Amino acid sequence: MVLEEELDLTKNLIDKELHNLFEGKFGYQDRIFESIKYSLFTGGKRIRPILLLKICELFRGNYHTAMPFALAIEMIHTYSLIHDDLPAMDDDDFRRGKLTNHKVFGEAIAILSGDGLLNLAFETMLDYSLKNSNTLDEYKRNIRAAYEIARYAGIFGMIGGQVVDLLSNEINMDNDKLMYMYEAKTAALIQASVVAGTILGEGDEDDIQRMREFGLYLGLAYQIRDDILDEKEDRLVDKVTYLSFNKLDKAKKMVNHLSQKAFEILNYYEDRDVEFLTKLVEFLVHRDY
Contact residues for its own copies, defined by CB under 8 A: 25, 27-29, 31-33, 36, 79, 83, 86, 88-89, 106-109, 111-112, 114-116, 118-120, 122-123, 126-127, 129-130, 133, 135-136, 139-140, 143-144, 146-147, 150-151, 153-156, 159-164, 166-167, 177, 180-181, 184
Helix axes 67-84, 47-60, angle to 10 degrees: 160
Cβ–Cβ under 8 Å, residues 142 and 168: no
Give the nearest distance from C-beta 117 to its own copies in angstroms.
Answer: 9
CA–CA separation, 260 vs 242, rounded Å?
A: 19
Residue 102's nearest CA partner among 89, 165, 75 is 89
HSE-up (13 A, CA, CB side) for residue 1 = 13
Task: Label residues 238-270 b or e (16+ Cβ within 10 Å = b).
Answer: eebbbbbbbeeeebeebbeebbebbbebbeebe
Residue type at 47? Answer: I
Q: H or E segment at 199?
A: helix 188-200
Q: Which residues of 35-61 are buried (b: 16+ CB within 10 A; e: fewer)?
A: bbebbbebebebbbbbbbbbbbbbbbe
Minimum distance of its own copies from residue 259's CB (angstroms): 26
Q: How far is the CB of 272 from its own copies (least distance, A)?
A: 28
CB of 169 to its own copies, least distance (A): 13
For residues 12 and 73, give the distance between their C-alpha atoms in angstroms, rounded to a whole number.
16
Least separation in angstroms between CB 133 and its own copies: 7
CB of 114 to its own copies, least distance (A): 7
Is the CB of 6 or the CB of 90 nearer to its own copies?
A: 90
Closer Cβ to its own copies, 13 or 163, answer by number: 163
In this structure, what DSSP letter does residue 246 have? S
Query: Which CB atom, from 196 or from 266, has the smaller least distance to its own copies?
Result: 196
How far is it, in rounded angstroms, from Cα 191 to Cα 217?
9
User: Looking at beta carbons only, is 31 or 287 nearer to its own copies?
Assistant: 31
Pick 8 or 30: Cβ nearer its own copies: 30
Looking at the Cβ atoms of 6 and 92, the one nearer to its own copies is: 92
Q: At its nearest, how many Å lie between its own copies and the CB of residue 218? A: 22
Nearer Cβ to its own copies (33/276): 33
